[in-house]
Amino acid sequence: RTRQLVPEFRPAPEPWFEVDLVIDDSPSMAVWNDMVPALATLLHQLGAFRSIRAWRMSLSETVPLLRNNGGQLAGSNQLRAPDGRRLIIVVSDGSAGGWFRPEVWQTMRAWAASTPTVLISPLATRLWRRTGLDLPAVRAGPAAPGSPNPRLQYSVPYLLRAPGNGDREWMPLPAATLSPYMLGQWARTLMRGDPRGCDALLIPSADY
């Protein structure tokens, strides 16, 4: 009618997260040598992330050791991101002896305290009880999109509650297999507030 073009703007989606992909470097993970690189390739092909960095985590020592792609040692604090724009994905079958010790879980807890963190296992969930992943399991509900783990909603089983402490002794850690169903549940819980939630493990505090 006016013979003038009036631009109309609307928000466009943009990549939200930088991804730190932490791969367990234990001998038991050699079985999955083909599957883990395929996961990394898929993450790149999705085009949904600002950047993707790969790390190797060794559990042969008392304290977990983190190395970059060049094999150089790195401090675990490099993965923490209080700005909420980073996502940590840990891939492990939980079979190495280090997963039965508290040090690796305290590292995971430190990451999850400030950064959305998920554990992905190539093993079926029925086999987790035979590994170091045999932790209390709960259903974690949604929080604000992209929130770190402490903001997830969950209920601690009654037998695990410490008098006077409520839920403060535990940290929820979303956990999934490589199946599209479980990964989809976690993704929808993290970013879309799906009320159905996702499966999670409870990491105890250091003094529990």
Q: Model confidence at 164, in pLDDT bands (50, 70, 90)?
A: low
Q: Which two tokens stand for residue 157?
A: 């089983």
**Which pLDDT score, from 0 to 100, does residue 161 have?**
66
CA angle at residue 160 from 154 to 164, to 5 degrees?
90
Residue 205 predicted with pLDDT over 90: no
The winner for highest mean pLDDT among 26-35, 49-58, 72-81, 118-127 is 118-127
| Nearest-angstrom CA–CA distance, 167 and 138 | 12
**Any residues with CB less than 8 A from the CB of 146 and at least 6 apart, and which?**
16, 17, 84, 85, 116, 190, 191
Query: Over 60: is that where the pLDDT of 67 sits?
Result: yes
> Quick one: pLDDT at residue 45?
86
**In contact, 139 and 154? CB cutoff 8 Å:** yes
pTM, full prediction: 0.87
